């Protein structure tokens, strides 16, 4: 091997394979799990992750969908591995609703849990109706201000530093009854959002 020949583990194919493996492991998926979800096999994926085999674009699209990422992210070169700082101005945000803004803190490929921050103006709420999403363990922490959370038939008033846990399958609605703004944080595990949900977010300062 001469000086111009890349090492076997430093080719574009090998680096893409390493990223697929990192995405897979961060989701605690086995090769067999990913194979079943993407219509491939564990042996093929093992070769792909080691960089000894390539894949057609159509196959990569299925793998990306199974991992809840875009095909571009399989090729994207990022420094720092999975350890990345997220600046406030870089948060992904849902389109602003009346008196309510929601931003996403958790980043791909870490998807064992998801973390959101909700900003409520006085009188703002998550909407007129209670909602559910999946059946995961959800915790809400009040960062500042006061909020009311309706859980089924129960109503709880929480303020700075208070938190509450519930199943995400329980109909819930959050509102700010106070005279000042309020901010809460949600931590949900396992994740209930699909890639189509994350695609609604736009990168902008909250």
* Residue 81 placed within a domain: no
Give me the CATH number covering residue 172: 2.60.120.10
3-state secondary structure string across 8-28: HHHCHHHHHHHHHHHHHHHCC
pLDDT surpassing 70 at residue 70: yes
pTM passes above 0.85: no
Instruction: Give the residues across from 182 on adjacent strands.
Output: 120
Looking at the fold, whether 37 and 61 belong to one and the same domain comes out as yes
Tens-place pLDDT, residues 138-147: 999 999 999 9
Looking at the fold, whether 121 and 25 belong to one and the same domain comes out as no
Among 50, 164, 79, 174, smallest CA distance to 120 is for: 174
Range of 40's domain? 8-75
Q: How confident is the model at residue 2 (pLDDT cuts 50, 70, 90)?
A: very low
* Residue 60 placed within a domain: yes
Work out the number of other CB atoms within 10 angstroms of the CB of residue 37: 14
Q: How confident is the model at residue 89 (pLDDT cuts 50, 70, 90)?
A: confident
Tens-place pLDDT, residues 13-22: 888 899 899 8
Looking at the fold, whether 31 and 124 belong to one and the same domain comes out as no
Looking at the fold, whether 66 and 156 belong to one and the same domain comes out as no
Tens-place pLDDT, residues 104-157: 888 765 567 889 999 999 999 999 999 999 899 999 999 999 999 999 999 999
Alpha carbons 19 and 58: distance in angstroms, whole number = 18
Split into its structural domains, the chain has a count of: 2
Q: How confident is the model at residue 4 (pLDDT cuts 50, 70, 90)?
A: very low
pLDDT surpassing 80 at residue 75: no
Asked if residues 145 and 182 have their Cβ atoms less than 8 Å apart, the reply is: yes
**Phi and psi dihedrals of 118, rounded to 5?**
-115, 130
pLDDT for position 192: 82
Q: What's the whole-number average pLDDT of the chain? A: 84
């Amino acid at each position: 091997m001469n000086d111009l020949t890349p090492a076997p583990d430093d080719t574009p194919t090998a680096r893409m394979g390493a990223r697929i493996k990192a995405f897979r492991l961060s989701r605690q998926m086995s090769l067999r799990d990913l194979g079943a979800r993407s219509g491939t096999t564990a042996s093929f994926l093992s070769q792909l992750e080691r960089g000894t085999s390539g894949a057609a674009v159509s196959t990569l699209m299925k793998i990306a969908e199974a991992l809840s990422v875009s095909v571009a992210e399989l090729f994207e070169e990022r420094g720092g591995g999975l350890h990345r700082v997220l600046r406030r101005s870089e948060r992904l945000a849902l389109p602003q609703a009346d008196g309510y803004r929601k931003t996403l803190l958790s980043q791909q490929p870490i998807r064992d849990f998801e973390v959101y921050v909700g900003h409520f103006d006085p009188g703002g709420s998550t909407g007129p109706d209670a909602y559910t999403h999946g059946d995961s363990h959800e915790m809400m922490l009040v960062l500042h201000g006061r909020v009311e959370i309706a859980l089924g038939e129960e109503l709880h008033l929480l303020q700075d530093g208070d938190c509450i846990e519930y199943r995400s399958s329980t109909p819930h609605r959050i509102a700010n009854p106070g005279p000042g703004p309020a901010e809460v944080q949600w931590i949900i595990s396992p994740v209930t959002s699909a890639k189509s949900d994350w695609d609604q977010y736009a990168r902008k300062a909250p």
